[in-house]
Amino acid sequence: MKKISIIICDRYHTCAGGKCLRALKNREGAFALYKDEKDVEIVGYTTCGGCPGGNIEYSPAEMKKNGAEVIHLATGLVVGYPPCPRIQHFCDFITSKYGLGVVIGTHPIPQNYYLQHKQLKTWESAKWQEYIQNVITDEKTRLAYD
């Protein structure tokens, strides 16, 4: 069984996780990485703690104690306005300090966010293309997550 945790952007701290849970069940977005896994269990779910991400320093320890092998930085970190400028720092820190894998993204990017960021040219750089590679999906799937 694959055990994962999710860290969301604190500006969405009231999020109930519905899109992430649906995407996990359907193996969509970044959860398509587990399409061959029969069972995937979420063993942690929290926010980054707000800018500059203070909870990133401590929450992975509990997640690891609960068996997490991978931490997903939720899609909200790449689609919010502005996207999180600390994503790479979070990835580097979690991997270095806790030895856990990090995946950027959870559920597919909703179409409304995709269109807005395309207009703003937010994700044109090679680095941003790398960040969104697991959650960009196709238009039909993006529309289903609007």
From first to last of the 146 residues of the chain, give the pLDDT tens digit.
Answer: 999 999 999 999 999 999 999 999 999 999 999 999 999 999 999 999 999 999 999 999 999 999 999 999 999 999 999 999 999 999 999 999 999 999 999 999 999 999 999 999 999 999 999 999 999 999 999 999 99
Please give the model's pTM, rounded to 2 decimal places. 0.96
Q: Looking at domain 2-144, which CATH architecture does it have?
A: 3-Layer(aba) Sandwich (3.40)
What pLDDT does residue 21 have? 97
Report domain extents, the chain: 2-144
Residue 67, token pair as written in the block: 């068996």
What pLDDT does residue 131 have? 97
